[in-house]
Amino acid sequence: MRVDLFWMCLWCFLRTGAAGQGQSTAVCSPSCSCDEDGGADCSGRGLTTVPAGLSTFTYYLDLSMNNITELPAYVFKNFPYLEELRLAGNDLSFIHPEAMSGLHQLKVLMLQNNQLKTVPSAAVKNLHSLQSLRLDANHITTVPDDSFEGLQQLRHLWLDDNNLTEVPISSLRHQANLQALTLALNRILSIPDNAFANLTSLVVLHLHNNRIKEIGDNCFAGLVNLETLDLNFNNLMVFPKAIEALPKLKELGFHSNDIASIPEGAFHNNPLLRTIHLYDNPLSFVGASAFQNLSDLHSLMLRGASMMQDFPILTGTNNLESLTLSGTKISSIPSDLCEDLKLLRTLDLSYNEIKQLPSLQGCVRLQEISFQHNHIQQIDRDTFQGLSALRLLDLSRNKIRLIHRDVFLTLTGLTNLDLSMNSLTVIPTSGLSTLSQLKLSGNPQMKNVLTAKNLPKLRSISVPYAYQCCAFVGCDSVATSDESDMKKSTGGEDVERISMIMHCSPSPGAFKPCDHLLTNWMIRLTVWFICLVSLVFNSLVLVATFSPLHRAAGHSHSMPPSLSPARLLMGLLALANLLTGVYVGVLSVLDLATWGSFAEFGVWWEMGPGCQITGALAVFSSEWSVLLLSLAAVERSVAVRMILGKVMSPRRNGSSHRGCLRGDRRFTLAAGLLGLLAAAGACLPLLTVSEQSSSSPLCLPFAGGESPALSVTVILVLLNALAYLFTAAVYTQLYCHLGRVELADPEQTGALRHVAWLIFTNCIFFCPVAAFSFAPLLTGSSAGGPEIAKSVTLIFFPLPACLNPVLYVFFSPAFREDWLRLRGRGLTREVKAGAESHRDDGVRGSELTNEGSSTHLGFDCGVYSQLCGETVVCEQCEAALRARTCSSPTSSTVCRHLVKSHSCPTLLAGAALCQRSEGFWADSSTPSAQSEYADEGDSFVSDSSDQVQACGRACFCQSRGLPLVHYSYNIPRVKD
């Protein structure tokens, strides 16, 4: 009977259990997702309370990332089998003491990232099965003494990222089974002695990112099983001797502190140390024996010991695999380093003062070596001999000048080699057949072209100059024959191999061409045309303007040269434009000389003095021409104002001539000063361009986005822009001042219009050059791409030098007169000098300021004729007309315009007149003279003869203060 009752009860229990298990898989809250094993995920659902309807057999409940602010009493009473509860990422600020009642099997409780200000000791004290408690990332400032009193099974405790100011010693005294404790990211200032005395099972202790300044010498007493100690990012000033009480310590970190010294034998009681992190400490002393006899040490990292001078003794530390000693003053490496460190895999001795490398052939397991930023000057043959496992070698930022040609022969596994920022002239490539990445940038002396034949597996390379990439660009490196045997089959079909494209930097382009300097025939022909026209026409203008014949024609025996400021400025402008033509010619010759192989000579051209001189010449000529154009605008404005001023001033004395001469000298001096300013601007690129870079083979500082001196570009472009704005303002004011007044002299009018055309065309051509020069500053790259930028530079930069002389030659009356005079076919504008007796009296009053310059009245058929012989004239005629003989004993030239005795009232006194040559005068009468300054009622003398009208006009104009130049076209012409 009892047996039957027993089996009946057992059947009912199993049936109930089965029914309960079936219910657990079927019952779940609508706000959660449940699995068949009894897990419920309710995270991130915006819940404000614990959801109802969950199975009693739930063993895992995730309520993290919700909006639950408090836990009421007995909220989890229906989950007796719950083992893991996650409440992270809520706004929990209150937990009722009875909230966790009934969770007798709870092992993991996560309360991180909440708003708790104290440890909920009353709520967790009855969780006797709890093994892991996370309270990190809260606002806990105090930990009650009885917080963890009943948690005898606790293994992991997180109290990091809170506001603790001291180690909770009292609350930890009963946690003999605790294995991991985290107190990092708090505000702890010190660690007293015996702080962790009862934590005999503790293995991991994190105290990093606190404010710890002092550590008691016995603070780690009792931590006999501690293996990991993290004291990084604190304010320790003295080496923690307390670590001597940690015999099983394997990983030690106290980097980023203020420790100044490491004593001798600092780790002699820590023989099991495997990793030490000591970097970023202002170490001034490191005991030579500090790291000795650490047989289990696998990693040693010591960075930032700026006063450390001696290499540490590593005898007995023969299992070291990673050694980092950077940022010290170590100047030498022990020659027997590899005898003690045969297992070394990573060696980082960067940022030291090492001058010479020993042989490392004993470290056969080395895979990575870094000697970056030292003072190494030479690499010997046996330095890396036998290091077949070496994959990465960093020798950048040294002073290496020489590398033995066989140094890489045995490095059969080398894939990455960094030799950048050195002083190499050549690199040996023997033995680099497996190399995939090579860095050579920053070696300005390495100008030779590299070859790719010894680097079959190279995939990435950085070189000093873009031209050296021409040997690698376009190399579609396909896998080798050995790699081609590795094929994957899918259904009997082979998968095609993907070819690997070479990457080379800096890459060649429009401003770093591989084949031709002048990219295409359209650019080439245009440049040739600009060069030819600028050279021919500017030379023509220079010859016509500064020819000795012209200067001789402008002199008398004691008179200054007759070259006016207008002609002088046009001549200097032609000289500046000629220099631009020379610059374009140099580029054209260079393009032809390096036809199809410019990459072989590009580096030598850019870095040589030829490019610097050519660029300085181009900048000087461009800047000087712009400044001269501004000065020409000022000269035109002054000339017109002086002409109009004579009309307004009815009387002028001889001081106007002296003022005119001073004005000439001022324009000459101003042109010279502007030339010095342009020369200073041309020297700016020479001061800013370094040895390692140049703007482009065009030698201009604004030739593209790769320019190293963008400030020079800004200065030059702004200078040109200001000059053009000033020029435009001057000419606008000039035209506004003139109004409807027209200059009667065609030479004056032609000069005025010529300068206006120069200003307009030069401004138009300057705009695209300025736009492409400022593009790198505004957008970081060339506007429209480097090809367009180069085309604009090659065409629009020298185009004014081509167009300016063409406009002057074809549209300037002054050039036509100069050219006719040079050829000897035109009429001279000044007759030979008169007798010496009359020259001294005539010189002082014979010149009149014209077009802002010194212009002689004696030009033949240009202004007025000279009176011949010793003639007595009136004061007006004497002030306007120079008394000279009509012929001299040494010349057959006859006075072309004779004045009869009745031409001037003063001459009626009976002064002797020269006899005219037969057939010299024109048969027809001269058209009546008109002036834009004369009144309608005014009239000249009544005599209708040409002689009388000529003198009468002179008397009339001189008496009225009118410029004689306005009547020049009414002078009787001479029959040839």
**551 in a structural domain:** yes
pLDDT at 313 over 80: yes
pLDDT at 630 over 70: yes
Residue 467: name the closest of 418, 504, 512 by CA.
Answer: 512
In percent, the amount of the chain with pLDDT more than 90 equals 40
- The whole-number pLDDT of residue 729 equals 82
**450 in a structural domain:** no
Q: Based on the fold, state whether residues 724 and 847 are members of the same structural domain.
A: no
Neighbours of 919 (CB within 10 A): 7
Least trusted range by pLDDT, from 389-393, 568-572, 946-950: 946-950
Higher pLDDT, 665 or 265: 265
**CATH number for 658:** 1.20.1070.10
DSSP annotation string for 888-941: -TT-----SS---GGGSGGGGGT---PPPPTT-S-SSPPPPP--TTS-TT----
- The whole-number pLDDT of residue 958 equals 46
Structure tokens at 926: 């001269």
Which amino acid appears at position 315 of this protein? T
- The whole-number pLDDT of residue 81 equals 93
Domain endpoint, select from 160, 186, 201: 160
Give Rg (Cα) of the chain.
49
**956 in a structural domain:** yes
pLDDT at 7 over 90: no
Domain endpoint, select from 160, 187, 221: 160
Angle of helix 565-593 versus helix 655-688 axis, rounded to 10: 20
pLDDT, tens digit (0-9, with 9 covering 90-100), for 869-908: 334 444 444 444 433 333 333 333 333 333 333 344 444 4
Higher pLDDT, 728 or 897: 728
Q: How confident is the model at residue 399 (pLDDT cuts 50, 70, 90)?
A: very high
Q: Based on the fold, state whether residues 782 and 906 are members of the same structural domain.
A: no
Average pLDDT, the chain: 76
pLDDT at 940 over 50: no
**Would you say 111 and 94 are in contact if contact means Cβ atoms under 8 Å apart?**
no
- The whole-number pLDDT of residue 748 equals 63
- The whole-number pLDDT of residue 683 equals 83
End-to-end CA distance of the chain: 165
Q: Based on the fold, state whether residues 553 and 660 are members of the same structural domain.
A: yes
pLDDT, tens digit (0-9, with 9 covering 90-100), for 199-210: 999 999 999 999
Q: How confident is the model at residue 281 (pLDDT cuts 50, 70, 90)?
A: confident
Mean pLDDT in residue range 374-378: 95
- The whole-number pLDDT of residue 546 equals 83
pLDDT, tens digit (0-9, with 9 covering 90-100), for 816-836: 877 877 776 444 444 333 333
Mean pLDDT in residue range 120-128: 91
d(CA 284, CA 853): 79
pLDDT at 225 over 50: yes
pLDDT, tens digit (0-9, with 9 covering 90-100), for 435-474: 999 999 999 999 888 887 888 899 999 999 888 888 887 5
Between CA 404 and CA 412, with CA 407 as vertex, the angle to 5 degrees is 155
Q: How confident is the model at residue 332 (pLDDT cuts 50, 70, 90)?
A: very high
Give me the residues paired with residue 230 across strands.
Answer: 206, 253
DSSP annotation string for 633-693: HHHHHHHHHHHHHHHH-S---THHHHHHHHHHHHHHHHHHHHHHHHHHHHHHHHHH--TT-
In 3-state terms, what secondary structure has residue 973? coil
Q: How confident is the model at residue 939 (pLDDT cuts 50, 70, 90)?
A: very low
pLDDT, tens digit (0-9, with 9 covering 90-100), for 587-619: 999 999 999 889 888 888 888 888 888 888 988
Q: How confident is the model at residue 251 (pLDDT cuts 50, 70, 90)?
A: very high
**135 in a structural domain:** yes
**264 in a structural domain:** no
Residue 708 C-alpha from the chain's centroid? 6
pLDDT at 330 over 50: yes
- The whole-number pLDDT of residue 474 equals 54
pLDDT at 92 over 90: yes
Q: How confident is the model at residue 16 (pLDDT cuts 50, 70, 90)?
A: very low
pLDDT, tens digit (0-9, with 9 covering 90-100), for 548-579: 654 444 444 433 445 778 888 888 988 998 99
Mean pLDDT in residue range 387-394: 95
**Would you say 169 and 191 are in contact if contact means Cβ atoms under 8 Å apart?**
no
Q: Based on the fold, state whether residues 63 and 140 are members of the same structural domain.
A: yes
Mean pLDDT in residue range 674-697: 73
**Would you say 319 and 291 are in contact if contact means Cβ atoms under 8 Å apart?**
no
Q: Based on the fold, state whether residues 819 and 884 are members of the same structural domain.
A: no
pLDDT, tens digit (0-9, with 9 covering 90-100), for 151-195: 999 999 999 999 999 999 999 988 999 999 999 999 999 999 999
Neighbours of 10 (CB within 10 A): 10
- The whole-number pLDDT of residue 876 equals 43
Reported for 660-665, long-range contacts at CB under 8 A and 24+ positions apart, including other chains, are 660/847, 660/849, 660/852, 660/853, 660/854, 661/560, 661/854, 663/565, 663/638, 663/849, 663/852, 663/853, 664/560, 664/564, 664/565, 664/853, 664/854
Choose from 156-165, 691-700, 766-775, 949-958 the range with maximum mean pLDDT: 156-165
Q: Based on the fold, state whether residues 802 and 868 are members of the same structural domain.
A: no
- The whole-number pLDDT of residue 553 equals 46
Residue 445: name the closest of 413, 406, 401, 412 by CA.
Answer: 401
3-state secondary structure 319-349: CCCEEEEECCCCCCCCCCHHHHCCCCCEEEC
pLDDT at 299 over 70: yes
Which amino acid appears at position 658 of this protein? R
Q: How many domains does the chain divide into?
A: 3
* Max CA pair span of the chain: 183
Q: Based on the fold, state whether residues 805 and 887 are members of the same structural domain.
A: no
Domain endpoint, select from 160, 195, 229: 160
Mean pLDDT in residue range 749-772: 73
Which pairing describes strands 853-856 and 847-850: parallel, antiparallel, or unpaired?
Answer: antiparallel
**CATH number for 92:** 3.80.10.10
Q: Based on the fold, state whether residues 735 and 760 are members of the same structural domain.
A: yes
Q: How confident is the model at residue 760 (pLDDT cuts 50, 70, 90)?
A: confident
Task: Give the range of the structural domain holding residue 864, as residue numbers without chain letter.
Answer: 836-970
Q: Based on the fold, state whether residues 127 and 42 are members of the same structural domain.
A: yes
- The whole-number pLDDT of residue 385 equals 92
Count of alpha carbons within 13 angstroms of residue 269, beta-carbon side: 10
Higher pLDDT, 690 or 883: 690
Question: Positive or negative CA dihedral for 154, 156, 161, 164?
Answer: positive
**77 in a structural domain:** yes
Residue 43: name the closest of 59, 32, 51 by CA.
Answer: 32
Q: Based on the fold, state whether residues 870 and 809 are members of the same structural domain.
A: no
In 3-state terms, what secondary structure has residue 850? strand
Least trusted range by pLDDT, from 180-194, 494-508, 626-640: 494-508
Q: Which helix (H) or strand (E) holds 173?
A: none
In 3-state terms, what secondary structure has residue 848? strand
Q: Based on the fold, state whether residues 56 and 121 are members of the same structural domain.
A: yes
Q: How confident is the model at residue 970 (pLDDT cuts 50, 70, 90)?
A: very low
Helices (H), 148-242: none
- The whole-number pLDDT of residue 746 equals 61
**Would you say 489 and 498 are in contact if contact means Cβ atoms under 8 Å apart?**
no
Higher pLDDT, 496 or 475: 475
Structure tokens at 775: 């593009």
Q: Based on the fold, state whether residues 625 and 527 are members of the same structural domain.
A: yes
In 3-state terms, what secondary structure has residue 98? coil
- The whole-number pLDDT of residue 790 equals 83
Q: How confident is the model at residue 777 (pLDDT cuts 50, 70, 90)?
A: low
**479 in a structural domain:** no
**503 in a structural domain:** no
